[in-house]
């Protein structure tokens, strides 16, 4: 063993570690403005929740609100639409999961799990096709629900995928009725 082979750190080792630490702090300091600018701005955070007045929506009509840059369909379904959705057996559905942000992730796609609690005629749903993100047409297709003309996905009156290439039901965002005529989304 020579005089240069010591197991203890020397001044050169300390300088390497100190230089590396100062360099790492410098890199983080230089990158922080770029990382911080990726956070949503105040206008986006303000739209985290929106209130929508549904007092003018008649039975059988829909309105579309914009929430977090996505169209959200709010539909007051007719009694026939509610009955058709309730009468659909889960075995007939391509996607048996509700996809409702207000329920557990594995909740079944029954009409009750897709509609508003205690207001079964109301459906609040992100109106984006789950195939490639297109915007389906409302009150269209063989189930009088939504039809995506881009690739042929067909959804029923509860927003559940019935035919076509879409793999999942349309999503139900977090929402609640704050009064009989106002729904808060987000």
Give 3-state DSSP helix, strand, coil % of the chain, rounded to 5. 25, 25, 50
How many Cα atoms within 13 Å fall on the side-chain side of residue 41?
A: 2
pTM: 0.71
Residue 131 a catalytic site member:
no
Could you tell me which residue, 61 or 38, shows the higher pLDDT?
61
Alpha-carbon distance of 93 to 178, in angstroms, equals: 31
Alpha-carbon distance of 60 to 64, in angstroms, equals: 14
Token pair of 143, please? 């189930």
CATH superfamily of 46-185: Rieske [2Fe-2S] iron-sulphur domain (2.102.10.10)
Alpha-carbon distance of 58 to 54, in angstroms, equals: 9
Instruction: Give the residue extent of every domain in the chain.
Output: 46-185
DSSP assignment string, 36-80: HTTS--HHHHHTTSEEEE-TT--TT-EEEEEETTEEEEEEE--HH
- pLDDT above 90 as % of the chain: 57
Alpha-carbon distance of 183 to 164, in angstroms, equals: 31
Res 26 pLDDT > 80: yes
Confidence of residue 8 (pLDDT cuts 50, 70, 90): confident
**How confident is the model at residue 15, as a pLDDT?**
86
The single residue of 14, 40, 44, 151 carrying the catalytic annotation is 151
Instruction: Give 119-167 pLDDT, tens digit per residue.
Output: 999 999 999 988 888 888 888 888 888 999 888 899 999 999 999 999 9
HEC-encoded secondary structure of 72-102:
EEEEECCHHHHHHHHHCCHHHCCCCECCECC
């Amino acid at each position: 063993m020579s005089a240069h082979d010591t197991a203890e750190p020397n001044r050169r080792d300390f300088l390497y570690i100190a230089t590396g630490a100062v360099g790492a702090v410098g890199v983080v300091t230089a990158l922080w403005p770029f990382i911080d600018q990726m956070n949503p701005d105040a206008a986006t955070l303000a739209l985290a929740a929106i209130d929508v007045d549904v007092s003018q929506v008649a039975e059988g009509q829909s309105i579309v609100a914009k929430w977090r840059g996505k169209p959200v369909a709010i539909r007051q379904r007719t009694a026939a639409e509610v009955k058709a959705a309730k009468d659909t057996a889960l075995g007939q559905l391509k996607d048996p999961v509700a996809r409702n942000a207000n329920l557990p992730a594995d909740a079944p796609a029954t009409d009750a799990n897709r509609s508003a609690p205690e207001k079964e005629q109301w459906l609040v749903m992100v109106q984006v096709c789950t195939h490639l993100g297109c915007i389906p047409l409302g009150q269209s297709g063989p189930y009088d629900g939504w039809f995506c003309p881009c690739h042929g996905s067909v959804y029923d009156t509860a927003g559940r995928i019935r035919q076509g290439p879409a793999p999942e039901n349309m999503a139900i965002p977090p929402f609640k009725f704050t009064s009989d005529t106002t729904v808060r989304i987000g």
